Amino acid sequence: MTTFHGLQKGSHVSGSQPLVVHITGARPNFPKAAPVIAALREFPLTQLLVHTGQHYDEKMSEVFFRQLGLPEPDVNLGVGSGAHGAQTAAIMIGLEELFTDRRPDLVVVYGDVNSTVAAAVVAVKMGIPMAHVEAGLRSFDRTMPEEINRLLTDRISDLLLVTSVDAIAHLGHEGAAADSIHFVGNPMIDTLLRHLDSLDTEGVAAAVGVDASQPYVVATLHRPGNVDDPADVAELVKSVHAVADQVPVLIPLHPRGRGRLEEAGFMDHPQLSVIDPLGYVEFLGLVKGAAAVVTDSGGVQEETTVMGVPCLTLRPNTERPVTITHGTNQLVRRDTLPAAVAEVLAAGRQATWPVPPLWDGHAGPRIAEVLAGHLGLTRS
């Protein structure tokens, strides 16, 4: 059910100021939106924060708002989980009602989740200008739902805000107008750098039963290609158990696929600890002290790149190749994962490593400048 906080239904939020609506819905969106919202406060406009409720677990959403200093969402659509079509449709229905009631001057979407593409379709059909933060990323794997969301959102966006040079090339090859593309850097890295020095690795490791002075591996696994098919699950369990033979493994287990992993005996290893999903600062604290991270997530590839933590991405491709060329990431298969972990453990953490251009903690202000310029605004 749609809920409205602190706003009269049927009223325009701002009066004479332009209205910018931010759409968030899943855990990866929140650290991307936070620095943009903060930077836009310097301009004479009104902001409305919408949480679609695509991630509804407290550890997957609400705790992020508290830790990142985001305001309480003005609107929560509360769509919850469900099949892609049903979830996307529910978000579209709620947003169409909202945009009709309070017409935005600009809609800002983040990343590649169902909330992103749903908001994009509603906005463009209603003739509302739209900006896509993290545009142009491509895995070239159309079996990934996120790849479809990325392609569709970029085709209909007015402003394409990109995090890496390869994304500019992808958009150019697809025919995007050059003046719609803006290389701004990575706002999720703004959030990471803001919290980096205060991350409590020892404290969170102790809380989950790990000695931070000894090597450990953090794993995040939830992609359909790893956890949907029983044969893939069986191979994954064998592979991760082979890693746990070498080093303790901690896995904050995503609700998606948990049942299949449990049935396949995933938890039946003395050095593998399954824990509940963590808050933003707790998770990054754990990652910061890890000997390596095993993941099939996109954002974790970026965070480890900046922190210098070896990252083994358990996928055949990545939409973030810059984390391989300018970071600590490498692609691995399930059958090669144990050997790759052994190599990382033997080599240890690098003293220095390359970081992608403009991943410097100032993407939020650069994005705000582009959005405000589109609205014809200067700082108040």
DSSP per residue, 188-249? HHHHHHHHGGG--HHHHHHHTT--TTS--EEEE---HHHHTSHHHHHHHHHHHHHHHTTS-E
| Domain co-membership, 113 together with 68 | yes
Tell me what percent of the residues of the chain surpass a pLDDT of 70: 93
83 lies in some domain: yes
pLDDT of the residue at 59: 53
**pLDDT one-digit tens code per residue, 230-252:** 999 999 999 999 999 999 999 99
- Yes or no: say if 314 and 332 are a contact pair by the CB < 8 Å rule: yes
- What is the domain extent for residue 146? 3-186+359-374
| Domain co-membership, 24 together with 163 | yes
Which of these, 217, 277, 285, 218, lies nearest to 252 by C-alpha position? 277
Q: Which of 12, 195, 222, 374 is catalytic?
A: 222
- The DSSP result for 18-61, as a single string, is -EEEEEE-STTHHHHHHHHHHHHTTSS-EEEEEE--SS-SGGGT
| Pairwise CA distance, residues 33 & 133, whole Å | 9
| Domain co-membership, 29 together with 133 | yes
Is the model's pLDDT at 60 over the cut of 60? no
Is the model's pLDDT at 4 over the cut of 70? no
Q: Which one is predicted more confidently, 150 or 260?
A: 150
Tell me what percent of the residues of the chain surpass a pLDDT of 90: 82
Confidence of residue 12 (pLDDT cuts 50, 70, 90): very low
Mean local confidence (pLDDT), 279-284 = 94
| Pairwise CA distance, residues 150 & 136, whole Å | 7
Out of 63-72, 75-84, 314-323, pick the least confident.
63-72
pLDDT of the residue at 83: 85
| Domain co-membership, 133 together with 209 | no
| Domain co-membership, 215 together with 336 | yes
Q: Give the CA radius of gyration of the chain.
A: 21
Is the model's pLDDT at 58 over the cut of 60? no
Q: Are strands 46-51 and 159-162 parallel, antiparallel or unpaired?
A: unpaired
pLDDT of the residue at 110: 98
Is 269 assigned a catalytic role?
no
Q: Are strands 181-183 and 217-220 parallel, antiparallel or unpaired?
A: unpaired
| Domain co-membership, 209 together with 290 | yes
CA of residue 131 relative to chain centroid, distance:
17
| Pairwise CA distance, residues 371 & 377, whole Å | 9
209 lies in some domain: yes
Is the model's pLDDT at 370 over the cut of 80? yes
| Domain co-membership, 229 together with 176 | no
352 lies in some domain: no
pLDDT of the residue at 286: 98
| Domain co-membership, 165 together with 125 | yes
Out of 12-16, 37-41, 305-309, pick the least confident.
12-16
In what order do the strands lie in the sheet containing 181-183? 3-4, 75-76, 46-51, 19-24, 106-110, 130-135, 159-162, 181-183
| Domain co-membership, 99 together with 137 | yes
Mean local confidence (pLDDT), 334-361 = 97
Mean local confidence (pLDDT), 301-320 = 97
192 lies in some domain: no
Confidence of residue 61 (pLDDT cuts 50, 70, 90): low
**pLDDT one-digit tens code per residue, 87-105:** 999 999 999 999 999 999 9
262 lies in some domain: yes
CATH code assigned at 112: 3.40.50.2000
**pLDDT one-digit tens code per residue, 128-154:** 999 999 999 999 999 999 999 999 999
Q: Which amino acid is at 42?
A: E
pLDDT of the residue at 11: 33
Confidence of residue 15 (pLDDT cuts 50, 70, 90): low
| Domain co-membership, 11 together with 150 | yes
379 lies in some domain: no
pLDDT of the residue at 10: 33
- The DSSP result for 166-194, as a single string, is HHHHHHHHTT--GGGEEE---HHHHHHHH
**pLDDT one-digit tens code per residue, 103-132:** 999 999 999 999 999 999 999 999 999 999
| Domain co-membership, 170 together with 212 | no
pLDDT of the residue at 138: 98
| Domain co-membership, 151 together with 210 | no
pTM for the whole structure? 0.93
155 lies in some domain: yes
107 lies in some domain: yes
Mean local confidence (pLDDT), 317-327 = 97
Mean local confidence (pLDDT), 33-50 = 97
Number of domains observed in the structure of the chain? 2
- The DSSP result for 312-379, as a single string, is EE-SS--S-THHHHTSSEEE--TTTHHHHHHHHHHH---S-----TT-SS-HHHHHHHHHHHHTT---
pLDDT of the residue at 7: 41
The H or E element that residue 129 is part of is none
